[in-house]
């Protein structure tokens, strides 16, 4: 194996995506290194979700490449193996309604990683503890609040030991009083060295937790840099406008 | 009146019970096999289109055949289907007819299968796309996603429709009297030929059908409620980990 500089995990090159004749992503280049916490900001409709969904191969790119440890995965026939290593946390939680909290976290371990029940339970409980949801292991998703659901969804993603987790507006569907509990879990994860790509409208989170901020506008990455650069001294007028500077 | 009914019960209870037994047997098995057929077809028809050209064409052809099956059986009366299948089989086998009970099971099963196929398909496509995506996101294949996540939820959601099909089948097996299947209605016809008590006999049979279908309805509703599980859950003692000990743990993780 070739050693990649800065322990590169994902590299997106010239990525484009069109739905019909509507081009949503235009020549996007993007690198994620190990330990990076990247926040993607930008107005709604700018293509943030589509970028994440391309990285996760939920959408087939119209052009360009996505490298995972140097291997092009963009047109993989069988993305399941790759997806084990790339977790995803959704805006609408998407917990499996037919399983309780614990089983939500063990399903992938048991059926995808073929783990023994005891081992899977142990691992899942460990991550449920980290998100503070171990006490609710027997609860069904519909019995939980939004914030609790999202914390379980994070534990479910963590249980697979992914190399990177993609978060698509993880707090946008939450009542204001629940946003904090989810962000604080995510902040802990960031501190622990987990590689994360977070699409968010929580500017304070981006400012304080990310080491890299990407501003997307109309299908392109208009500007990227450290939180300091983007929030205090953005170069592009469109970025300034978006941030209300 | 009640006296007459009492006499009918006394004289013919064996025939009546036999009729009830056959009716319930065919309705139950027909519904279950029909549900099985419906699940297979529903799963097949909601499969993502294959990328491979050849498989794509195969799938298209199978789709056409399956929708022909569904529409033909939904758009013709079961009584007519029973005659066509029963006598069609005889024609193809030099006048040798198929065992009537076996015929009845086959007819009700494939008739129910046609309805179930649509019910199951509706159940599957009504499952939120997010459930599929969450399963795919942890590396589950389409078949695992269907088996562990989508079908269990779809089945729960369509349970009222499945129950309804069962109740309909209890009543509709009566049309199988045309092939001489000894279900409840057929038994009633036979009894009337002997005792000429047409009204009393059919009134009794109507009451029996009602008791059967209504008690099954109540039973299935009870099962539905049971399946939803407990309304509450127990909160177990929690020991939260702090960020720092987690950071150490994750640090250890990185190297493996
Ligand atoms: N499946 C789809 N089909 C057609 N258009 C889509 C689809 N998904 C997204 N779009 C369009 O792509 C654009 C970008 O969407 P999205 O990536 O969701 O933006 P964001 O997440 O930044 O709000 C929007 O104009 C949206 O309408
Ligand atoms: Mg979005």
Report pLDDT digits (tens) over A116-148.
999 999 999 999 999 999 999 999 999 999 999
The pLDDT, as a whole number, for residue A211 is: 95
B39 vs A142, B47, B104, B105, B117, CA distance in Å? 26, 12, 21, 18, 6
- Output the CA torsion sign for B109, B113, B115, B119: positive
| Residue in the structure block whose two tokens are 């799938």 | B59
Give the relative orientation of helices B184-195 and B2-45 as an angle to the nearest 10 degrees: 150
Site to substitute for ligand 1 among A47, A52, A55, A90, most atoms within 8 A of C-beta? A47
Sign of the C-alpha dihedral computed for residues A191, A154, A184 and A138 taken in this order:
negative
Rounded CA gap, A221 and B119, in Å? 45
> What is the number of the ligand 1 atom nearest to the C-alpha of A20?
4
Strands A164-168 and A86-89: parallel
User: CA geometry: angle at A109 spanning B247 and B252, to 5°?
Assistant: 25
Contacting residues for B224 by C-beta, under 8 A, at least 6 apart: B159, B160, B163
State whether residue A72 sits within 8 Å of chain B by CB: no
CA distances from B150 to A89, A174, B13, B179 (A): 19, 25, 46, 40
| Cβ–Cβ pairs < 8 A, chains A and B | 114
Sequential pLDDT tens for chain B (256 residues): 788 889 998 999 999 999 999 999 999 999 999 999 999 999 999 998 888 899 999 999 999 999 999 999 999 999 999 999 999 999 999 989 999 999 999 999 999 999 999 999 999 999 999 999 999 999 999 999 999 999 999 999 999 999 999 999 999 999 999 999 999 999 999 999 999 999 999 999 999 999 999 999 999 999 888 877 766 777 776 444 444 444 444 443 433 3
Are the CB atoms for B68 and B82 separated by under 8 Å? no
Say if ligand 1 is within 6 A of residue A108 CB.
no
What is the residue with the minimal CA distance to atom 26 of ligand 1?
A45
Q: Which of A163, A171, A178 is nearest to A199 (CA)?
A: A171
Interface test with A, best of B132, B138, B239, B246 (most A CBs within 10 A): B138
Does A41 sit in the ligand 1 pocket, CB within 6 Å?
A: no
What does the CA dihedral A68, A74, A77, A79 come to, rounded to 10 degrees? 50
Residues with C-beta atoms within 5 A of ion ligand 2: A 49
> B239, A88: Cβ pair inside 8 Å?
no
Residues 6+ apart with CB under 8 A from A156: A95, A104, A105, A108, B134, B138
A53 Cα to the center of ligand 2, angstroms: 10
Residue A76, number of CB atoms within 10 A of its CB: 16
Pocket test for ligand 1, best of A15, A19, A58 (most atoms within 8 A of CB): A19
ipTM (interface pTM): 0.94
């Amino acid at each position: 194996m070739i050693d990649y500089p800065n322990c590169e995990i994902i590299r997106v090159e010239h990525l484009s995506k069109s739905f019909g004749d509507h081009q949503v992503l235009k020549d996007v280049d993007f690198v994620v290194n190990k330990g990076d916490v990247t926040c993607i900001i930008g107005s709604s409709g700018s293509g943030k979700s589509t970028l994440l969904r391309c990285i996760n191969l939920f959408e087939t790119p119209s052009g360009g490449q996505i490298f995972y440890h140097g291997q092009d995965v963009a047109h993989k026939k069988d993305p399941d193996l790759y997806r084990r290593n790339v977790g995803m946390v959704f805006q609408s939680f998407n917990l499996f309604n037919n399983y309780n909290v614990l089983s939500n976290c063990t399903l992938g371990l048991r059926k995808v990683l073929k783990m023994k029940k005891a081992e899977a339970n142990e691992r899942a409980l460990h991550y449920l503890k980290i998100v503070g949801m171990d006490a609710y292991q027997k609860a069904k998703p519909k019995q939980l609040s939004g914030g609790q659901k999202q914390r379980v969804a994070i534990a479910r993603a963590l249980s697979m030991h992914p190399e990177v987790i993609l978060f698509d507006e993880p707090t946008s569907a939450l009542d204001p009083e629940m946003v904090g509990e989810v962000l604080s879990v995510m902040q802990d994860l960031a501190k622990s060295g987990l590689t994360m790509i977070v699409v968010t409208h929580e500017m304070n989170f981006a400012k304080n937790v990310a080491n890299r901020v990407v501003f997307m506008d109309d299908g392109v990455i208009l500007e990227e840099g450290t939180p300091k650069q983007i929030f205090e001294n953005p170069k592009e007028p469109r970025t300034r406008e978006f941030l209300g500077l | 009146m009640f006296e007459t009914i009492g006499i009918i019960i006394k004289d013919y209870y064996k025939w009546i019970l036999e009729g009830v037994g056959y009716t319930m047997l065919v309705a139950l098995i027909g519904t279950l096999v029909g549900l099985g057929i419906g699940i297979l077809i529903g799963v097949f028809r909601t499969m993502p289109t294959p990328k491979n050209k050849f498989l794509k064409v195969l799938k298209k052809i199978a789709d056409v055949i399956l929708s022909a099956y569904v529409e033909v059986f939904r758009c013709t009366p079961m009584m007519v289907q029973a005659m066509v299948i029963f006598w069609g089989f005889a024609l193809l086998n030099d006048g040798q007819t198929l065992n009537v009970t076996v015929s009845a099971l086959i007819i009700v099963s494939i008739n129910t299968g046609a309805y179930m196929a649509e019910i199951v398909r509706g159940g599957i496509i009504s499952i939120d796309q997010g459930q599929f995506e969450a399963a795919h996101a942890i590396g589950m294949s389409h078949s695992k996603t269907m088996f562990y996540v989508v079908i269990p939820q779809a089945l729960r959601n369509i349970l009222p429709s499945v129950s309804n099909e069962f109740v309909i089948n209890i009543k509709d097996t009566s049309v199988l009297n045309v092939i001489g299947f000894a279900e409840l209605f057929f038994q009633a016809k036979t009894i009337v030929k002997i005792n000429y008590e047409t009204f009393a006999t059919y009134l009794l049979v109507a009451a029996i059908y009602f008791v059967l279908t209504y008690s099954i309805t109540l039973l299935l509703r009870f099962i539905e409620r049971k399946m939803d599980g407990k309304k509450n859950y127990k909160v177990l003692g929690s020991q939260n980990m702090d960020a720092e000990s987690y950071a150490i743990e994750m640090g250890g993780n990185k190297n493996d």
